Amino acid sequence: MGVDRIGHRFAEPALLSQALTHRSAGAPHNERLEFLGDGVVNLLIAEVLFQRWPKADEGALTRARAELVREAALATIARELELGARLTMGPGEMKSGGHRRDSILADALEAVVAAIYLDAGFEACRARVLPWFEQALAALPVGKPEKDAKTRLQEWLQARQKPLPVYELVSESGEEHARHFQVRCTLTDPEMACDGEGSSRRIAEQAAAACVLQAIVPKK
């Protein structure tokens, strides 16, 4: 197999084929590779952050890694590598647009990372994979990646000895492959509430917290 956007010439092309096979297409599919790739990606990102940010504390490093390996970030890289067009999927998933879905693309990227690791070893995997993250790494504020909205809201309230927010699931809808969540973030002091929406409960909670923050924190 020739070199493509992935940029690695596989000694065992079957590894790449498996990495790009969704479980809906039957075995062998990419779920085991995804599991391994998740660990490899986390190690690679942890290592590069540790080396590049010698003065950053554990909290900053953890937040930066979380930003770089979150589903949407991995899916963005998968799109740049044009993995969606190469996925093997069952007819139902293909018809529903699974090759465009963030969760499937992110899983495929992790599986491809594992395939490279198994095919060529850790050093070759590092050399091939880290450049995929370079743009996102460069975009991070050095040593001080912004905390997520829920963390910032909690810290703002704690600093003023105010009660912590309550997050409540308002609604959940959509098919299994395209869920939609609405979450309400409620404060008692000051009294207010904001709703947030997203493709997961976590994303909806973050959106609700960001809405509350925008309302209560004075603009600089």
pTM for the predicted model, two decimal places: 0.66
The active-site residue, picked from 67, 71, 102, 110, is: 110
148 assigned ligand-binding residue: no
pLDDT band at 1 (very low <50, low <70, confident <90, very high): very low
Question: Does some domain include residue 205?
Answer: yes
- Helix-then-strand count for the chain, H and E: 9, 3
Sheet containing 191-198: give its strands across.
166-173, 180-188, 191-198
**In this structure, are 23 and 112 located in the same domain?**
yes
Q: Which of 26-30, 76-80, 164-168, 181-185 comes out lowest in average pLDDT?
A: 26-30
**In this structure, are 94 and 128 located in the same domain?**
yes
Residue pair 111/129 in contact by the 8 Å Cβ criterion: no
User: Is 38 considered catalytic here?
Assistant: yes
What confidence tens digit (pLDDT) does each residue in 37-90 have?
Answer: 999 999 999 999 999 888 888 888 888 899 899 998 999 999 999 998 899 888
If one counts the domains in the chain, the total is 2
Of 84, 112, 139, which marks where a domain is finished?
139
155 assigned ligand-binding residue: no
Paired tokens of 105: 């693309």
Kindly state the DSSP code that residue 174 receives in the 8-state scheme: S
Residue pair 44/122 in contact by the 8 Å Cβ criterion: no
**In this structure, are 203 and 126 located in the same domain?**
no
Nearest alpha carbon to residue 108 among 127, 130, 80? 80
Range of the domain at 47: 13-139
d(CA 5, CA 39): 23
Question: Does some domain include residue 4?
Answer: no
In this predicted structure, the answer to whether residue 97 has a pLDDT above a threshold of 80 is no
On average, the pLDDT of the chain sits at 88
d(CA 168, CA 127): 44
**In this structure, are 134 and 155 located in the same domain?**
no
What confidence tens digit (pLDDT) does each residue in 127-149 have?
Answer: 999 999 998 888 787 655 667 88
**In this structure, are 173 and 81 located in the same domain?**
no
**In this structure, are 108 and 37 located in the same domain?**
yes
195 assigned ligand-binding residue: no
85: domain CATH number?
A: 1.10.1520.10
205: domain CATH number?
A: 3.30.160.20
Contacts of residue 14, defined as CB under 8 A and 6 or more positions apart, other chains included, come to none
Q: Is 58 exposed, middle or buried (0-12, 13-18, 19+ CB in 10 A)?
A: exposed
Question: Does some domain include residue 185?
Answer: yes
**In this structure, are 125 and 25 located in the same domain?**
yes
